[in-house]
């Protein structure tokens, strides 16, 4: 049966058709839609299956892995930077192995489109010594999930699927199974302390040896199942291009469209590779070029003398692939001598006004950042933030640094030690605080580090698609204020109002408390996301604002510091409000403009 599916939809359907009945993960672009679609399919088909958003990637992996130890088919989803968080569990699980299937889906982001690093999950699979499949299309993503379940059960090893953004967010026609009877295996945990609790060095040393044996068996499986049939189809051109995933599609199209004397060997499983066989194959070609994105995972495993790639400087080393870049590599390898047919004409950046990333109109984060920077001046403060929508506070000059999920709290500790003369203010969202910020707070209280922590709680993981957070799903039992108080300190609370004077007053209160404290000052600010219809419809006043041009003195406060998108200078050099962009929060009316130029719009006159 044929269906048009987005890659992440195809993966979710593949999980159902592979009889995976436990999926746990943490949202992160480009992986978020996998779990969301699995939940939709589970409900639509009325399946007895379990899907959850975990508090972080490590937790998600461990929940899924325990099920795989019990013989069930399970899956953990995340993006590539989330794999760093789950890596501790991954490395140990590779040694211990599993009885059922353990799928790790780590979605990569070559090109940094929504990530702070470009790291390659294939190299992480190599580091952990587990097999990895690299799909090039939604169809392959669907097929490889089912294959991965077989591989994981066959070799009793965790298995990784590594889709990139161009697979997860692409749409394509997929041939999928029809009328699948969902029949996941039952749980049956068999106690075996030497295996499941292998204490070093004895049992773990044995498992280490077994892991190496598994790698060799999977290497041979890779050769027999995936690679040998493809080698048999090669026709013997002068140049061989070895590639995997989406990169192979660019290479194949560039060769075919320019009728070049080259052919492609696409590796579906880039680790572990049968390197002896591949090195021998390379010798039968004049030259071999390895194309992969973004890291040299394949290239590191081969050592034939005629290899060209990232190490030789023939292939670019950063950012995602394109046919233009493939042709540039061919020119360096003297396979192509004409001008690059894919080279885009020069873009005139001056024709379009620069538009930096910014918070949505009506977002309460904007008011908090504005009040924060006005109360704690930049010259005397250090602003540390985290990963999430509030990263967009950069546009308001409210962030000096951010590192990774949850790091803002620990970094605030560090900055407070380095600069005791300055006020350090850390900002973090609710999902990120529960993900990994809380451990930093415990350390800060433990060590008595002095800084201000603002937890901006909109009870949703807004940037990745508004997934539910723990306190949103279970407010009776999980509450950030009580978590902070459980660490032994006061948690100050502010229920956000779209009134700048009230937000400023709260910041001034924190400033006074900070003066006499020798501990972290923590505040939870109860907000909402303007895209969260369930809450914003109730909490937004829906009052449109206009500008009294007689009062506007062009002081630039609203344009250069508050930076709400509907605000701009009109033809008369006075500030104007674009009614099509205004969310109706009316937060700018009180406390923002020094001359009170913002007023409620007279909708009657506009008619």
Q: Which residues are annotated as a binding site for [4Fe-4S] cluster?
A: 552, 555, 558, 564, 582, 585, 588, 593
Q: Are strands 521-526 and 491-495 parallel, antiparallel or unpaired?
A: parallel
Sign, CA torsion 117/122/123/128: positive
Distance CA 578, CA 563 (A): 13
> Under a CB-based contact definition with an 8 Å cutoff, are residues 157 and 96 in contact?
no
CB atoms within 10 A of CB 82: 26
Residue with tokens 């504005």: 370
Distance CA 204, CA 91 (A): 12
CB atoms within 10 A of CB 479: 17
- Cα–Cα nearest to 412, from 383, 445, 376, 377: 383
Distance CA 293, CA 120 (A): 8
What dihedral do alpha carbons 38, 39, 44, 49 form, nearest 10°? Answer: 90
Distance CA 237, CA 264 (A): 10
CB atoms within 10 A of CB 269: 28
Tell me the three state secondary structure of residue 549: coil
Distance CA 203, CA 214 (A): 16
Residue 75 pairs in a beta bridge with 23, 103
Structure tokens, 194? 């030497």
Tell me the three state secondary structure of residue 109: coil
Distance CA 123, CA 125 (A): 5
- Cα–Cα nearest to 499, from 543, 469, 537: 543
Tell me the three state secondary structure of residue 405: coil
DSSP for 445-460?
Answer: HHHT---EEEEEE-SS
Rounded to whole angstroms, the maximal C-alpha distance in the chain is: 83
> Under a CB-based contact definition with an 8 Å cutoff, are residues 408 and 454 in contact?
no
Q: Which helix (H) or strand (E) holds 327?
A: helix 323-332
- Cα–Cα nearest to 506, from 364, 360, 359: 364
Binding residues: 552, 555, 558, 564, 582, 585, 588, 593
DSSP for 123-172?
Answer: HHHHHHT--EE--SSHHHHHHHHHHHHHHHHHHT--EEE--BHHHHT-EE
Q: Which helix (H) or strand (E) holds 307?
A: strand 307-308
Q: Mind spelling out the 3-state secondary structure of 333-360?
A: CCCCCCCCCCCCCCCCHHHCCCCCCCCC
Q: Which helix (H) or strand (E) holds 568?
A: strand 567-569
Residues in Cβ contact with 463 at an 8 Å cutoff, skipping those fewer than 6 apart? 29, 388, 389
What dihedral do alpha carbons 36, 39, 41, 47 form, nearest 10°? Answer: 170
Angle at 293 between CA 288 and CA 294, to 5 degrees: 120
């Amino acid at each position: 049966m044929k269906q048009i599916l987005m890659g992440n939809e195809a993966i979710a359907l593949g999980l159902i058709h592979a009889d995976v009945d436990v999926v746990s993960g943490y949202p992160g672009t480009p992986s978020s839609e996998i779990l969301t679609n699995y939940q939709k399919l589970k409900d639509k088909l009325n399946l007895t299956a379990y899907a959850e958003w975990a508090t972080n990637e490590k937790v998600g992996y461990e929940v899924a892995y325990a099920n795989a130890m019990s013989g069930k088919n399970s899956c953990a989803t995340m993006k590539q930077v989330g794999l760093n968080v789950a890596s501790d569990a991954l490395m140990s699980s590779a040694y211990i192995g599993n009885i059922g299937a353990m799928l790790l889906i780590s979605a990569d982001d070559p090109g940094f489109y929504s990530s702070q690093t470009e790291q390659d999950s294939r190299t992480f699979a190599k580091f952990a010594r587990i097999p990895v499949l690299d799909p090039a299309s939604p169809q392959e993503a669907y097929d490889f999930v089912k294959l991965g379940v077989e591989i994981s059960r066959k070799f009793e090893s965790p298995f990784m699927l590594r889709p990139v953004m161009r697979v997860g967010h692409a749409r394509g026609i997929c041939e999928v199974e029809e009328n699948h009877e969902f029949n996941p295996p039952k749980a049956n945990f068999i106690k075996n302390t030497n295996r499941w609790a292998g204490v070093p060095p004895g049992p773990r040393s044995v498992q280490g040896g077994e892991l190496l044996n598994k790698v060799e068996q999977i290497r041979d499986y890779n050769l027999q199942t995936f690679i040998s049939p493809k080698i048999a189809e090669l026709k013997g051109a002068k140049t061989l291009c070895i590639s995997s995933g989406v990169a192979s599609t660019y290479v194949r199209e560039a060769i075919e469209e320019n009728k070049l004397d080259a052919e492609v060997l696409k590796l579906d499983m880039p680790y572990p590779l049968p390197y002896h066989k591949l090195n021998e194959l390379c010798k039968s070609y004049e030259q071999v070029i390895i194309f992969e994105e973004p890291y040299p995972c394949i290239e590191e495993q081969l050592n034939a003398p005629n290899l060209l790639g990232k190490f030789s400087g023939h292939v670019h080393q950063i950012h995602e692939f394109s046919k233009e870049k493939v042709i540039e590599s061919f020119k360096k390898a003297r396979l192509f001598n004409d001008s690059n047919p894919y080279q885009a004409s020069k873009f005139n950046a001056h024709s379009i006004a620069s538009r930096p990333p910014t918070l949505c109109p009506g977002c309460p984060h904007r008011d908090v950042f504005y009040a924060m920077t006005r109360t704690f001046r930049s010259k005397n403060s250090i602003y540390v933030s985290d990963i999430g929508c509030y990263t967009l506070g950069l546009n308001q000059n409210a962030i000096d640094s951010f590192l990774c999920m949850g790091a803002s709290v620990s970094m605030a500790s560090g900055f407070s030690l380095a600069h005791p003369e300055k006020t350090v203010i850390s900002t973090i969202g609710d999902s990120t605080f529960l993900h990994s910020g809380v451990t930093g707070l415990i350390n800060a209280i433990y060590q008595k580090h002095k800084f201000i922590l603002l937890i901006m709680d909109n009870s949703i993981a807004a940037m990745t698609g508004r997934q539910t957070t723990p306190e949103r799903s279970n407010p009776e039992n999980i509450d950030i204020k009580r978590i902070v108080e459980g660490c032994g300190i006061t948690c100050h609370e502010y229920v956000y109002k779209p009134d700048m004077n009230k937000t400023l007053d709260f910041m001034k209160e924190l400033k006074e408390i900070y003066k006499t404290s020798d501990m972290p000052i923590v505040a939870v600010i109860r907000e909402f996301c303007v895209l969260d219809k369930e809450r914003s419809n109730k909490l937004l006043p829906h009052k449109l604002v206009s500008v009294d041009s007689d009062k506007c003195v062009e002081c630039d406060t609203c344009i250069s510091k508050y930076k709400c998108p509907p605000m701009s200078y009109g033809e008369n050099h006075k500030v104007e409000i674009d009614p099509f962009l205004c969310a109706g929060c009316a937060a700018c009316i009180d406390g923002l403009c020094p001359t009170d130029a913002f007023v409620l719009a007279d909708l009657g006159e506009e008619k």
